Amino acid sequence: MYNPDFNYTEFGTIKNAAGSNNFVLSVKNWIEQTGAIGITATAGRYGGTYAHKDIAFHFGMWISPKFQLLLVKEFQRLKEDENDRLKLEWNLQRTLAKVNYHIHTDAIKENLIPKEISKSQIQFIYADEADLLNVALFGMTAKQWRDDNPDKTGNVRDYATIEQLVVLSNLESINAVLIHQGLTQPERLKQLNQTAIQQMKSLVNNLHVKKLK
């Protein structure tokens, strides 16, 4: 699979001779005759034979049927575990899709979440686009959050609710569109903040979100 220079002609000769009473094949001869890779042998006090794990597994299965069975069962266990994770991810994506649909159809809720940003915040230039999204959704930059929460590790997004994470994901996509449209940063911040308010209102009592918690 990984050796385009493998000598299949010499391999055929070795395969035909294998099994006879006088057949002997060293690792060195195997490499020289077939151009094989993934296995080496060195002589001397600290010498020995070393092989890639795929080859080592094959030797192990040839020597021990029990090892072969354990390896196969472990592979099956890992595949089942992988399938379970993929199924969970699919269910989560399906639920988030329902949540996003609900954002566009639900009525406006009573409370503004988050608060509308001030005019000074709108005019302020943020060096990092990530901070622009932080202000639009959380009302503060990452540094402001760290200053207000010196006893906490991580950042403001690490402590976000699932509703905020859903909205944050949407804001990232919307911001990319607004940048492409050529809007200035203050203009984008104002639109992103209004979008965050509307979507958070819609999500605050959403039953699909509550199922994720």
pTM (2 d.p.) = 0.45
- Mean pLDDT of the 75-102 span: 71
- Mean pLDDT of the 146-150 span: 93
- Mean pLDDT of the 112-141 span: 81
> What is the model's pLDDT at position 112?
36
> What is the model's pLDDT at position 111?
38
Q: How would DSSP label each residue in 124-191?
A: SPPSSHHHHHHHHHHSS-HHHHHHH-TT--S-GGGG--HHHHHHHHHHHHHHHHHHHTT--HHHHHHH
> What is the model's pLDDT at position 99?
63
Residue 148 has pLDDT above 90, yes or no: yes
> What is the model's pLDDT at position 52?
92
The first and second tokens of residue 65, run together, are 């049927």
**CA dist., res. 211 & res. 201, Å (int):** 17
> What is the model's pLDDT at position 165?
86
User: What tens digit of pLDDT does each residue of 150-199 get?
Assistant: 999 888 888 888 888 889 889 988 988 888 888 988 999 999 999 999 88
